[in-house]
Structure formats: C-alpha cells, structure tokens
Amino acid sequence: IWEFYLKPTQTEWFVISLYAIVFLTSIVGNCLTIAFILRRKHLRTTINYFMLNLALADIMVTIICLPPTLMVDFMESWLVGQFLCKFTPYLQMAVTSVSSLSLGAIALNRWFVVCHPLRVARSRRSAKNSLISMACIWLFSLITLCPVVFVTELTDDFPGYSELELLKSCGEHWATFLHGAVFHVYFVTVCFALPLVVMAIAYTSVFRKLSRTKVTKRTVSQLFKRLGESIPTFKRGLRAGFADKVESQQSDSEKPNLISSRKRSGRIQVALVIVYFLCYSPAMVLDVIRRTSNVFDSVHRESTYFMFAIAHLLMYLNSALNPIIYNCFSVQFRKEFRLTFSCCFP
C-alpha cells in the first residue's frame, strides 16, 4: 500500500517540508505575538487586541486544521475519524471568517481614529469595545457557518471494505447541488470579499486624510514663516510671545510624529490585508469553482488534489507571515523580539 498508493513523490516531499516549516513558524511566531501583547502593558492597545485575536485564530487553525488537510491533499483519504471530519472544515471556515472580519474591524478602527478623532476621544472604553467586537466576530462566524457541520460526513469510497480507514473520505453532502453552491458563494462573499471591500475603502480614506493633514500643516507653517515669527512677540509682549512660540514649536514637533506614527501603523494593517488577500484568494476561487460547477470532474484526480494542496499551503502561509509582518513594520514588536532572544542574538 505504501509503495503503490501512499508513498509521496519527490515534489510532494518538497511541499510536505514546506508545510512543516509553515507549521513551526506559525506556532512560534503567533505564540510570541500573544506573549508580547499580554506581557507588556504599553502593547495592550485596541489594534493590538485585534492582532492578538488574529494570532489566536492562526494558532488554532494551524494546530487543528493543517495536519488533516495535509493528510487529505496527499493521501486522498481521511484517517482521523468522524468528529474531526465534521469539526475541521467548520473550524477552517470559521477562522477564515474571523481573520477577515478582524482585519475589517481594524480598518474601521483606523478610519474612526484618523477621520473622526472626536468620536474616539469621547469613548472611554475603547479596549472594552474591542473585546466586545472580537466576541461578536467569533459568535457571528461560528453561528452562521454551523450548517457545514451537519452536512459534512465520513463516507466509505468502497462499501465492501468499510473497515479500512484508507478507503474513507470526508466531504460535504448537501440536499441539492444548489444548496451547497449558495452556501459557499455566501461564505466567500460575506466572510471574505465584503470585508476586503470595506478595508480598501477605509484605508483609502485614511491615507487621503493623512496626506491632506500633512499638506495643510506645511502650508500654514510656510505662511507663518513669511509673516515672521516676531509678530506674536511684538503684540503680546516678551513673555507671552515666548510662551506662544514654545507651544507652537511643541505642536509642530508633536503633530508630524503623530502623523508618522499613524502612517506606520497603517502600513502594518495594509500589509496584513495584502498578504491575507494573496494567500487566501487561490483557495477561495478554487472552492467556489468546485462548488458551483463540474470543471474539476474533467481534471485528473491527482492534479486536482495537488492544486488544492498548493492553495491550502498558501492559506496556512498567511498564519506564518503575520508575526513576521509585525516584526518588520512595528518598532515595538521588533524591540520585544530582540529582548526575548537577546541571549541568542547579542
């Protein structure tokens, strides 16, 4: 059985090794992300709470979903029983929804902070609100996607050999083909495409606002330079003029720092969105094609499984790349990483 049915080819061994690297990187990176946020009080911000939520979802999907998915893509059989057959696809879809909706929530938060700062200033429970939002995201994802649990079944490919686990497969069995197509189109539209549209609109508005703020500040600064900085001093007296000048210098120095900080934060979120889109799009497109047409019936079975194996690898790669993005774009996360591994990287 091993030689003629289960033994991977050299190409498959290479892909399996990539899966192993992704698995280890995802677990270590996301565990460190959670530890950094929980350990340092200054990292417990509204945005970082959503990133913690993303890291938790990535750990869950990596541990629970990656091994069975790898098994199915290369062995073309389901060996881990009825319970995981129902639970694994459900969790995979739910975590995909959680990741997408969390990124959408981060985008909306950035939009409110930059474009409507007064509303944010009035709210004194931003951390509490973010926790409530995360709970709502999980509940929405788990409840709306629960139908997949009831239609996923472990079946015998050859009924006469039901005692052999190698001849069993796990899949969805809807009442009609249309029911399955509608459900998966809903999933891709509401839990993937729609949040991406929200992110695109929100971040476009954010960067336009920051660009206008920078231009306005530069124009006002040039105007005051032309009028001369001695005018306030002449009108208000030496002491008042000195105080005004100090206050003006402080505001001038603080405002660019604030804008720069917001832009750096925005770059992290935009990078997360782009990587998420690139990693999840192939699997989403293939899933919609498989559920709404019979295109893959004419494709060689092994080629189809290998195609989905690559798409699934990209999907899990997203979980491994998120912590790397935090370290590349965030000075605070990079500092925590260096402190944690100071013994290894002096």
**Residue length of the chain:** 346
CB atoms near residue 129 (< 10 Å): 14
What domain count does the chain have? 1
pLDDT at 51 over 60: yes
pLDDT value of position 332: 80
Q: What global pTM score does this model have?
A: 0.78
Determine the average pLDDT of the residues in 21-27. Answer: 95
pLDDT tens figures, 222-252: 434 544 444 444 444 444 444 444 444 444 4
pLDDT value of position 249: 44
pLDDT value of position 262: 55
266: CATH: 1.20.1070.10
Q: Does 346 map to a domain? A: no
Phi-psi group of 282: left, alpha or beta (phi > 0 → left; psi -120 to 50 → alpha; rest → beta): alpha
Instruction: Give the pLDDT band of residue 74 (cuts 50, 70, 90).
Output: confident
Phi-psi group of 321: left, alpha or beta (phi > 0 → left; psi -120 to 50 → alpha; rest → beta): alpha
Q: Does 280 map to a domain? A: yes
CB atoms near residue 308 (< 10 Å): 19
Pairing of strands 152-156, 168-172: antiparallel
Determine the average pLDDT of the residues in 293-317. Answer: 83
Q: Does 149 map to a domain? A: yes
pLDDT tens figures, 170-224: 889 999 989 999 999 999 999 999 999 999 998 888 888 877 765 555 554 543 4
Instruction: Give the pLDDT band of residue 270 (cuts 50, 70, 90).
Output: confident
Residue 169: both structure tokens together: 């497969």
Task: Give exposure, 45-68, as e/b (b: 16+ Cβ within 10 Å).
Answer: bbbbbbbbbbbbbbbbbbebbbeb
Domain that holds residue 49: 2-340
Instruction: Give the pLDDT band of residue 257 (cuts 50, 70, 90).
Output: low
DSSP per-residue codes, 301-334: HHHHHHHHHHHHHHHHHHHHHHHHHHHHH-HHHH
pLDDT tens figures, 316-345: 999 999 988 887 877 788 888 777 776 655
H-helix segments, the chain: 10-39, 46-64, 66-75, 81-115, 117-122, 126-144, 147-151, 177-188, 194-227, 231-236, 238-292, 301-329, 331-340
Q: Does 208 map to a domain? A: yes
CB atoms near residue 219 (< 10 Å): 9
pLDDT tens figures, 277-298: 999 999 999 988 988 888 777 7
Check: CB of residue 72 under 8 Å from CB of residue 170. Answer: yes
State whether the Cα torsion 330-335-340-346 is positive or negative: positive
Residue bearing the bigger pLDDT, 147 or 254: 147
Q: Does 345 map to a domain? A: no
pLDDT above 90 covers a percentage of the chain that reads: 29
Q: Does 158 map to a domain? A: yes
pLDDT value of position 290: 87
